[in-house]
Structure 1
């Protein structure tokens, strides 16, 4: 499964920067024809059908209307739309104050988007024509064929000796999409796919392809997601740090440079280089002192550096489990444990649960304990979660802990949040959301010093 977390975060940061700094907006033409089936309306008057394009930075953010117009009698409409960054936006088709369809459209600077549809069966006859959408259609065709071949490979229809050659072929096909549709969203997604495939068998070539597609903003996130880990593993921490510096130097976007600087601070933090991380954070705060979103991020990471860094004694906590046992720091001295903090209704937590079960089965032989503090508001939700799943470790009883205190002490900004704590009560590391895969590295570190299965 693709990991779009870094890329999504980068787009959000760019949108926030675009709104706060108010740079010159991008602009494109939107036009087309919306008609109505004769079976619904045979008047031939297709006027006053609304076309609206909106932007929403996040689920809880207010909706920003970028464009609105109505069709003339023939159903035709046209206008210019201004927007902050090249991205997907929502186009709403409405009539008589009723929203009839929401369509995801790509807006890119100096492009022309043509929208044609007939009511009421918009999903059946809608067409979107633009340079960006043409490129995305090409990518979709390649991707569908690749998925079909991948299914054959997973089913054992292809001999192992031919798999590498097959992967090589598809890296070339995806790269052809990148070259044929330069500077489109599809081209950079295709370049990312090329890099993902190469990552499995030729990482040096992967790095070459990433470098060839830089410094496009999207590819900086790909470089962080794929290039940086390879460099850190093959050439060491300092080389990875220098790689991040090079990304800052080549980027033409202030928001992207800020994003990379955040990643560098986090990398030093995760590697227990707390003093260096604090020094980098001091510089970051000086550079971005005028931006509210930057100050908010800096406050959050500084709290982690001061109170939740690797090597720091874990904050005090206490709760009673569903079995009636009182759990706190003192009771867990001598044990290595994972403290999970998340609503059980959270999709990512549910998606991780089977992997957590496997980790528990493996490492409980070394003495690992797991405790979950659910942030759900209802016992019904918690009980329903375990009606469908095996409860293999202790879970805190709702009402036996202060939710806000837990959130504040452990600086829970993203869920699931997990903390790995050693037998001396010292934090090995705090993990957030998709960092779950790194937990095993932390566990190996915790148990490698002479510990053996009990």
Structure 2
């Protein structure tokens, strides 16, 4: 039984680490040259509103917000004829709010693309009466095209879901069509920021649907694309399915050596750790995680690597689950040792968490059906609010034993099990060995594994009889 559980639970669910990877942008970034652009234009007022022909005093501001601070990228005021000129300086390319005000009243706000060397013309006659500002430049035209494609794609997906026709074939056709249109922007707007985004998204959205095309398109993306890491992540999984894990690892190492800045190198180093774990090369994954910590001390990457290191050393399938002692909701003390001899489901949750609430019906049904002589469920709330915790029990009596962990995610038991994503669940076998870990929306995977365990137990019982 022990060996079967270890084999059947060897699927590595590293969503905890993968989710964290997307949050670590910008840490340790070195100063970069600022992006320079230019805008000019004319604003006027309808003669019905103002017959003086004095169009001065329109205030134009282009701003962004970074870590709570407002950064003004450009500012201008129209002259009497309504004309303005504005030099723009930004830390990076992007889409920012373009705000037009007069006499303290905000009149319009629009999306404005800032990209190196782009020159934009803006015009409008107030009141706009539902019209938009006219913003004309190669970069803004490309952004509009990209945004329209995305809007049509989202609408099509929504229609499929609402009509209950979101079959695999229909979804594939929709995704393939959108991917092709996004890729075609390379012909219409070959050097624009939006085209680079569209090209990356065209590759990423095909992963798992058309892996061969993902692999074919990746080399056509510029190594300097801001989204190249996302494309490489997707291609890594496609390559693993098509050509094997060794080829996917080679792909990651190739790009890690060639991407232009440290942020991208660190992100690909993190992906390499995950890929090595996916290929069951735990020792090499540990080496790469330790190297990440050494290369970027004191950064969020180092923190991520420390969590990955702990996970590799303590929480992989087949390892002994960390021992603990907790106080149950009813005041009873419980130790992990007392649970040995039964399968254990260790669940970390928060009563107001969206995923937990979405899954709670299925959770209660599944756990209610488990034989308490064979399975034990221990649920630990990492919400420090006792009122919120008790509210879960006002209308229902959810199955399982419950703990309200003082200290939340910083409590001893949450730290022992490296909990950073809610919900997080562990399946542990009767010998106290970890079978698998499930993070985020993982209830269905846990349910399927429990069905497999029960089927195997029934088979063993049948053979014994």
Distance 2:197 2:361 in 1: 30
2:88 to 57, 76, 81: 81
Contact 1:69–1:77 (CA under 8 A) maintained in structure 2 = no
What's the offset of the Cα at 1:311?
A: 4.0
Is 1:287 matched up with 2:295?
yes
Contact 1:371–1:395 (CA under 8 A) maintained in structure 2 = yes
Residues 378 and 284 of structure 1, relative CA distance in 2, 3 Å threshold: closer
**3-state SS of paired residue (1:67):** strand
Q: Residues 107-118 of structure 1 correspond to what in structure 2 (within 5 A)?
A: 107-116=114-123
Residues 102 and 304 of structure 1, relative CA distance in 2, 3 Å threshold: farther
What's the offset of the Cα at 1:396?
A: 3.1
CA deviation profile, 1:236-258 (whole Å, cap 9, x unmatched): 33222222112223423332121
CA deviation profile, 1:188-217 (whole Å, cap 9, x unmatched): 444355446644653212321233335333
Match of 2:220 in 1: 212
**3-state SS of paired residue (2:227):** helix
Distance 1:128 1:383 in 2: 54
Match of 1:409 in 2: 416
CA deviation profile, 1:252-308 (whole Å, cap 9, x unmatched): 33321210111111333465543222211233334334x633333333333333444
Distance 2:109 2:402 in 1: 42
Q: Residues 71-220 of structure 1 correspond to what in structure 2 (within 5 A)?
A: 71-74=77-80, 76-91=83-98, 104-116=111-123, 124-147=131-154, 149-150=156-157, 155=163, 169-192=177-200, 194-195=202-203, 198-199=206-207, 201-215=209-223, 216-220=225-229
Q: How many residues align?
A: 439
Contact 2:346–2:378 (CA under 8 A) maintained in structure 1 = yes
Distance 1:366 1:136 in 2: 60
Q: Residues 245-394 of structure 1 correspond to what in structure 2 (within 5 A)?
A: 245-269=253-277, 273-289=281-297, 292-320=299-327, 327-351=334-358, 353=360, 370-382=377-389, 392-394=398-400
Contact 1:86–1:109 (CA under 8 A) maintained in structure 2 = yes
**3-state SS of paired residue (2:411):** helix
Match of 1:424 in 2: 431
Give TM-score, length-normalised by structure 1. Answer: 0.75
**3-state SS of paired residue (2:26):** helix
Give the unaligned 5+ runs of structure 2: 1-14
Contact 2:27–2:299 (CA under 8 A) maintained in structure 1 = no
**3-state SS of paired residue (2:86):** strand
CA deviation profile, 1:18-43 (whole Å, cap 9, x unmatched): xx411222222244556677888777
Match of 2:26 in 1: 15
Contact 2:347–2:379 (CA under 8 A) maintained in structure 1 = yes
1:236 to 232, 244, 249: 244
What's the offset of the Cα at 1:157?
A: 7.8
What's the offset of the Cα at 1:218?
A: 1.1
Is 1:27 matched up with 2:36?
yes
What's the offset of the Cα at 1:160?
A: 9.5
Contact 2:64–2:97 (CA under 8 A) maintained in structure 1 = yes
Give the unaligned 5+ runs of structure 1: none
Query: CA-atom RMSD, angstroms?
Result: 4.6
Distance 1:159 1:285 in 2: 44
What's the offset of the Cα at 1:47?
A: 1.8
Distance 1:148 1:275 in 2: 46
Contact 1:178–1:191 (CA under 8 A) maintained in structure 2 = yes
1:53 to 47, 60, 63: 63
CA deviation profile, 1:44-101 (whole Å, cap 9, x unmatched): 4552635141232xxxx33241425242345554433333333344455566677777
Contact 2:153–2:174 (CA under 8 A) maintained in structure 1 = no
Residues 98 and 163 of structure 1, relative CA distance in 2, 3 Å threshold: closer
Distance 2:242 2:255 in 1: 18
Distance 2:107 2:307 in 1: 42
Structure with bigger gyration radius: 2
Distance 2:169 2:305 in 1: 50
Match of 2:4 in 1: none
**3-state SS of paired residue (1:21):** coil
What's the offset of the Cα at 1:117?
A: 5.6
Contact 1:6–1:221 (CA under 8 A) maintained in structure 2 = no
**3-state SS of paired residue (1:229):** helix
**3-state SS of paired residue (2:352):** coil
**3-state SS of paired residue (2:116):** coil
**3-state SS of paired residue (1:217):** coil
